[in-house]
Structure 1
Amino acid sequence: MVKYAYKPENAKKSCKARGSSLRVHFKNTRETAHAIRGMKLERAVAYLKNVIAKKEIVPFRRFTGGPGKHSQMKNLKATNGRWPQKSAKVILGLLQNAQASAELKELDTEKLFVKRIAVQQAPKTRRRTFRAHGRINAYMCSPCHVEVHLSEGHAVVPKPSSSALARK
């Protein structure tokens, strides 16, 4: 049995998916996950497909040391961004897995949104690469664990008019 980091309030109205020790970069996956947090499922899937096709960009807000500035960032409140295709494909697969789980639970997939998405670092695989003059350097990858929780959205309650508030 897999242990999840988060337990939803209403388990009957939510579904989840998890990937452990995935061979994708932690930093790219973390930024991609933060970009889709809170989105509706349909929009998140379309966004990730656009990232793979380089039509939309993933803003890098925390790990900004490497990525450069791009013109697609004009719409967002950040300056640095990338198109992490491998991370987008992995998260897209997890969203499809969670969607299949939701259909099995007979949830309305049009009302689903990304309630929570967590990315944690996994243990590094340590290798070595041989350099010139008899030296050896570390050659490590930075895998990660990804956990996705989808939940059904609540019905939108219309704001009461000011005349209804005045009558009270």
Structure 2
Amino acid sequence: MKGYSIQNVGERSARARGKELDISLKDSVNIAHFLRGKRLQWAIDALEKVTQKKLAVPYFRYLDSVSHRKGMSSGRYPVKAARAFLEVLRNAEANAEFKSLDTENLVIRHIAATKGRMIKKYLPKAYGRAGAWFKDLVNVEVVVEEVES
């Protein structure tokens, strides 16, 4: 992962990135879709509710055997991925504050979760065999922009 997938970032914007996070790619894609275009403070509050299992993240992709939730369609409570996204969003907020932007008027303009490096390990089994143990890591990037209120 060399850089951000979005190249043109304005003066009134800040960005943050989480590299090679040990979270689920499927949960990350759905959380990114859930947060895209929302206000930053709303997104942070929503992710805190997800970690407390009070708000479910609606799933739009990877829906096989995902249960419906009360008052919405199918969704889950991806706590581990929500904590990782919270950290990235708080980093973006701190970067915006460093650039002296108004943190109350920040909107998530770009958020993406992409597949990162794969960790390949092998577990020994009986009779001289070995079983594969692969783990995909996830890259998360966020660009927030200040809007007029």
Q: Give the aligned partner of residue 118 of structure 1.
A: 112
Q: Which amino acid aligns with 1:35?
A: F
In the TM superposition, what is the alpha-carbon distance from 1:153 to its structure 2 partner? 1.8
Hey, what's the Cα distance between the residues in 2 that align with 1:80 and 1:130?
Answer: 39
Please tell me whether the aligned partners of residues 26 and 143 of structure 1 are also in contact (alpha carbons under 8 angstroms): yes
TM-score by length of 2: 0.90
Please tell me whether the aligned partners of residues 15 and 141 of structure 2 are also in contact (alpha carbons under 8 angstroms): yes
1:35-83 deviation digits (Å, cap 9, x = unpaired): 11111011000000000000000111111124x31333x23xxx32111
Aligned CA RMSD, in angstroms, stands at 1.7
Larger % of strand: which?
2
Hey, what's the Cα distance between the residues in 1 that align with 2:44 and 2:13?
Answer: 17
Please tell me whether the aligned partners of residues 8 and 14 of structure 1 are also in contact (alpha carbons under 8 angstroms): no
Which of 1 and 2 has greater Rg?
Answer: 1
Q: Give the aligned partner of residue 95 of structure 2.
A: 101
Q: Give the aligned partner of residue 58 of structure 2.
A: 59
User: Mind listing any 5+ residue stretches in structure 2 that lack a counterpart?
Assistant: none
In the TM superposition, what is the alpha-carbon distance from 1:134 to its structure 2 partner? 5.3
Q: Which amino acid aligns with 2:19?
A: S
Q: Give the aligned partner of residue 20 of structure 1.
A: 19
In the TM superposition, what is the alpha-carbon distance from 1:136 to its structure 2 partner? 3.0
Q: Give the aligned partner of residue 164 of structure 1.
A: none
Please tell me whether the aligned partners of residues 125 and 142 of structure 1 are also in contact (alpha carbons under 8 angstroms): yes
Equivalenced residue count is 148
TM-score by length of 1: 0.80
Please tell me whether the aligned partners of residues 39 and 108 of structure 2 are also in contact (alpha carbons under 8 angstroms): yes
Q: Which amino acid aligns with 2:68?
A: H
1:86-137 deviation digits (Å, cap 9, x = unpaired): 1101110011001011111110111101110011101210112344665432
Hey, what's the Cα distance between the residues in 1 that align with 2:122 and 2:75?
Answer: 30
Q: Secondary structure at the match of 2:97?
A: helix
Hey, what's the Cα distance between the residues in 2 that align with 1:61 and 1:109?
Answer: 29
Q: 1:134 to 1:65 in 2, by over 3 A?
A: farther
Q: Which amino acid aligns with 1:58?
A: V
